[in-house]
Structure 1
């Protein structure tokens, strides 16, 4: 039976970011779910707190639906989706056949990037969100490596105020991006079949973070050369090859 796949995007993205990789993977009849994080492509659901725990619980629910129909799944995450994917695998290893993450990882010594610190700061984060415009965001995303056409589409969603609110709540629930006091304590609970796939030129989460995690845990690390934070969209064929090798490994 073909293993179902769950792809979780990050910040400030949407499921659009997976388009190039899904095309390269050509998964055919494989059951695939590519949901939007609540609040990222539409209004925040009533009562949804947009904390890291809430997003993890939501992703567990997404995994449970796939598991009920198809058995243990392959979960794949990028950026915040990577952190959430790892958390799902920690909380519910019974649902997971394998996990693979790109350009973010629950690593106890990592303390976040500049934007994470801004978003974590009351008033400053709100000012950033109020002053940020889609055109400037698109330019910044493209400069950081996101394909320009996807950057334009992703930036257009910035008009969604709930998305900006959700991002602030999410980062503040993680104290910027610090997991040493909670999620990182459960790294040993992760299923053994995991993989890191990393764009070597990531300006937000340096390659050294992935190398340190790989050295400490024994998790295989594939470095994607000539790519940055959005390696999944910058060099999708190379990432697809790494994922297929991971999925097909004994």
Structure 2
């Protein structure tokens, strides 16, 4: 693994790279909350014999720049960062996203499809089915109430208290956290402790336009238009069904937005499928990319 910094759109971004062979297709790996580029290490190591894996710390995370303003984390800004990176890497290329990284990956696929050869999502959601599931005020709305907590003023200070006890609890709530070794926990805390980073991370939630009703409250909002949010490239969705933050209903109707969708479920896994079932995830990705 090699690390380097790069300037994109006037901001510094930190990259980790594996498998830089000249004949290796490039895979851009986009982490979610509250992780960083190093979260992809296990998967990247399993793919690096055939792929050039690039995992940036996204804006607000890890060693990349973390502007304080909420407006700096609008989805157009986040997608713009990664579009600039793909252009620098000589795209189009394969894009993998998890959690919030999936939101950026879907943004690239719909706003800049010229830069995405294939799209792979691991326990992440397209904005169309996700907003539709939230709008019913049902189980997904109840599961997403934590997002409202994170949007509140001062949430970063509460998450950081007692050596990040609340953030670690949120990370693990109702899901298998056995993959988080003491050594890995210290790596995560070191990244969260960088000045301004926790505010930058939480600002992703504050800048989001996703509408979250109270449980039982129904929102009267139109479905997102298929033409504007269309995913034209081949798309693989890998899902850990034990996810308690993103429920299966948040992907219902995804086929309407996708030209070529393949779904794979990994039994026994949850939101952290990348860490829990790394070998299985790597195998499914290899098989699908050989299609």
| C-alpha contact (below 8 Å) 1:14/1:40 kept by paired residues | yes
What is the Cα deviation at residue 166 of structure 1? 1.3
Question: Which of 1 and 2 has higher RCO (CA within 8 Å, sep 6+)?
Answer: 1
The alignment of Structure 1 onto Structure 2 pairs a total of residues equal to: 243
| C-alpha contact (below 8 Å) 1:42/1:162 kept by paired residues | no
Unaligned runs of 5+ in 2: 1-22, 135-140, 213-220
Tell me the residue number matched to 1:90.
110
Alpha-carbon distance in 2 for matches of 1:230, 1:180: 31
| C-alpha contact (below 8 Å) 2:117/2:233 kept by paired residues | no
* Aligned partner of residue 104 in structure 2, secondary structure: helix
Unaligned runs of 5+ in 1: none
| C-alpha contact (below 8 Å) 2:123/2:238 kept by paired residues | yes
| CA RMSD between the two structures | 2.9
* Aligned partner of residue 195 in structure 1, secondary structure: strand
Matched, 1:145 2:176: yes
Q: Which TM-score applies when normalising by structure 2?
A: 0.72
CA-to-partner distance for each residue in 1:205-243, whole Å, 9 max, x for gaps? 012323442476462111111111110111011111111
Where in structure 2 are the equivalents of 1:1-250 lying within 5 Å? 1-25=23-47, 27-28=48-49, 30-42=51-63, 44-45=65-66, 49-66=72-89, 68=90, 71-108=91-128, 109-111=132-134, 113-121=144-152, 123=153, 125-126=155-156, 128-129=158-159, 131=161, 133-138=163-168, 140-142=170-172, 144-146=175-177, 147-149=179-181, 150-176=184-210, 186-188=228-230, 190-214=231-255, 217=258, 219-249=261-291
Name the structure with the higher strand share: 2
* Aligned partner of residue 229 in structure 2, secondary structure: helix
CA-to-partner distance for each residue in 1:142-199, whole Å, 9 max, x for gaps? 56334112344223422235222112321122145679787977322x2231111111
Q: Which TM-score applies when normalising by structure 1?
A: 0.83
Name the structure with the higher helix share: 1
Larger radius of gyration: 2
Alpha-carbon distance in 2 for matches of 1:228, 1:47: 32
